[in-house]
Amino acid sequence: ILVDVDSNQHAGGFQVVTPQAIAAVRGTQWAVDVAGGKTSVLVVRGSVAVRRPAGEAVVLSPGEGVDVTDGTEPLVVRRWPAPRAAALLARLGQ
């Protein structure tokens, strides 16, 4: 799913909840991919806080992503390589 939230039109924030992660944002564009027991979140514009249902949040900036699986290890924010980001966005029609 590709989410594009305009903070001028939607007050109070927005969340996407998957079995592995909760992504919360305000006024941004980001992609969420859920497959094979993993949730991947990529930020295109703005910033997104991502956390497990029970755990500490990490904040992603444009070009950054995180892969969330079941478990308790800390989430690792990475700058996604251009081919990976482009492949996900292409699947979402971008």
Q: Distance (Å, rounded) from C-alpha 48 to C-alpha 32? A: 11
Number of domains, the chain? 1
Q: Give the pLDDT mean for 53-81.
A: 93
Question: Would you say the pTM of this structure is higher than 0.95?
Answer: no
Q: How confident is the model at residue 25 (pLDDT cuts 50, 70, 90)?
A: low
pLDDT for 71-86, tens place per residue?
889 999 999 999 999 9
We report the CATH number of the domain holding residue 84 as: 2.60.120.1440
**Residue 31 half-sphere exposure, CB side, CA atoms within 13 Å?**
21
**Structure confidence at residue 9 (pLDDT):** 59
Taken as a whole, the chain contains a residue count of 94
Q: Is 90 helix (H, G, I), strand (E, B) or coil?
A: helix
Q: Distance (Å, rounded) from C-alpha 12 to C-alpha 60? A: 19
Asked if 50 contacts 66 with a C-beta cutoff of 8 angstroms, the reply is: yes
The whole domain housing 12 covers 2-91
Q: Give the pLDDT mean for 29-37.
A: 89
**Structure confidence at residue 20 (pLDDT):** 87
